[in-house]
Structure 1
Amino acid sequence: MSAKLGSKRPLRLHVNGRAHGPLDIPEDMMLVDVLHEYLGLTGTRFGCGQGVCRACTVIVDDEHGPREVRSCITGAHYFDGKQIRTVEGHAKRDDTGAITELSPVQQAFLDHFSFQCGYCTPGFVNAATVLVERLKKTPVSRDALEATITEALNPHLCRCTGYVRYYQAVKDLVLATPGLVRDAGKEGAP
């Protein structure tokens, strides 16, 4: 049986370690709209509305994750019961909500002046975070590092052409983080 246009149903989300819901959400609403309109989390950007620019990327932590999911083209109910991270969830905060420490990815982007307008930055932060977390489990050989970074960041669009600084920030972070890169020919060793 198909849902009526405009019908609602309960949705439970776990965003940035916090449970939300059940929320009465329209069945056809995209996650980016729920984040903005119901949860007040506006860091996830609505860019192209077609999933091409990836400014809307969130991280889903599940049996396949961490992985990136585009929230402007994925219905909110797909995320029912799932663990989601948005850009607001990366930095450490005190009891008042004030940021006390940026994540390593956020700090690397800031140190490299990686962004200009910043609109695409949340998507790049999430993509780089997923990459770093995957490399912690499966380090990349030094000779494959640049191709690995390119594969992770290439789907994301930056209209201000900040690509070089994003790539350099991620490369420097990966090289500076022990255990993410292994020398070629040492398959088992980090």
Structure 2
Amino acid sequence: MSFTTTSIQMTVNGQLQAEHAVPEGLIMIDYLHEYLNLTGSRLGCGQGTCHACVVIVDKPDGTSEEVRTCITGANFFNGKTVRTVEGHALTNDKGDDTLPSPVQQAFMEHYSFQCGYCTPGFVNAATLFMEKLQRQPVARENLETEIEKALASHICRCTGYVRYYEAVRDLALATPGLVTGEVK
């Protein structure tokens, strides 16, 4: 028995990856785990429902989107620019990971996660939300609604979401230029 393969190459966390011949139909989460040793994205439901597996795909037009890796083939990502949860840490001038990103730090300060299984998906969603606010600040009175829209598709079985939402709200309010106006 032999497998049909296809070649893929992409940029992941700012690094152009070597071209890999992968079995056709290989899902992206398996590519990340088995070929790149990036195991931060979690296989939760395996059906695209929980969003623990999402990565960020950066588009040429400067926008980005979440893509579920448990139901999307690795070949979809060929030629694309991808960010995984491992790519968010801030680095020093030597290139060493030294500090968590602002989103990761806010989640830790709010004790947002219990088991942590859903955290990679929430980190990616919250990061995209913060980037959106940098381009399009939100009125303070609409902040809660916008946070809910940004995080609503992510499922957490432990914490009840409150701490994730609070961390994102507090980070948005503490970051200059993301929120306009006062609460009415």
Scaled to the shorter chain, the TM-score interval is over 0.9
CA offsets, 1:121-180, max 9 Å, x none? 000000000000011000111111000000111100001034000000000000000111
Query: Is 1:12 aligned to 2:1, yes or no?
Result: no
AA matched with 1:44: S
Q: Which residue in 1 is equivalent to 2:23?
A: 26
Q: What is residue 178 of structure 2 aligned with on the other side?
A: 180
Query: Residues of 1 paired with 2:73 and 2:95: CA distance?
Result: 29
- CA offset at residue 26 of structure 1? 1.1
Asked if 1:73 is matched to 2:71, the reply is yes
Residue type of the alignment partner of 1:18: Q
Q: Distance in 2 between matches of 1:19 and 1:169?
A: 32
Question: What SS does the corresponding residue of 1:10 show, helix, strand or coil?
Answer: strand
| Whole-angstrom distance in 1 between the partners of 2:122 and 2:77 | 21
Letter in 2 for 1:65: T
Task: Report how far residue 13 of structure 1 moved.
Answer: 1.2
Q: Is contact 1:68–1:126 with CA below 8 Å preserved after alignment? A: yes
Q: CA RMSD in A?
A: 1.7
Deviation at 1:97, TM superposition (A): 7.2
- Of 130, 133, 138, 2:136 maps to 138
Q: Distance in 2 between matches of 1:18 and 1:176?
A: 31
Report % sequence identity: 58
Which AA in structure 2 matches 1:49? Answer: G
Partner of 2:56: 59
Distance (whole Å) between structure 2 residues aligned to residue 15 and residue 93 of structure 1: 16
Query: Could you state the TM-score of these two structures normalised by the residue count of structure 1?
Result: 0.90
AA of the residue aligned to 1:151: K
Q: Which runs of 5+ in 1 are unaligned?
A: 185-190
For 1:143-154, list aligned pairs within 5 A.
143-154=141-152
**In the TM superposition, what is the alpha-carbon distance from 1:67 to its structure 2 partner?**
1.0
Aligned AA (1:84): V
**Is this contact kept in 1: 2:112–2:159, CA < 8 A?**
no
* Alpha carbons 1:146, 1:171 under 8 Å: kept: yes
Please give the secondary structure, in 2, of the residue aligned with 1:52: coil
Aligned residue pairs, count: 180
Q: Is the 8 A contact 2:51 2:121 kept in 1?
A: yes
Q: Secondary structure at the match of 1:9?
A: strand
Structure 2 unaligned runs (5+)?
none
- Please give the per-residue CA displacement for 1:83-104, whole angstroms capped at 9, x wherever unaligned: 1000000002458875311100
Mean CA deviation greater in 58-67 or 135-144 = 58-67
Query: Who is 2:153 aligned against?
Result: 155
Distance 2:159 2:109 in 1: 17
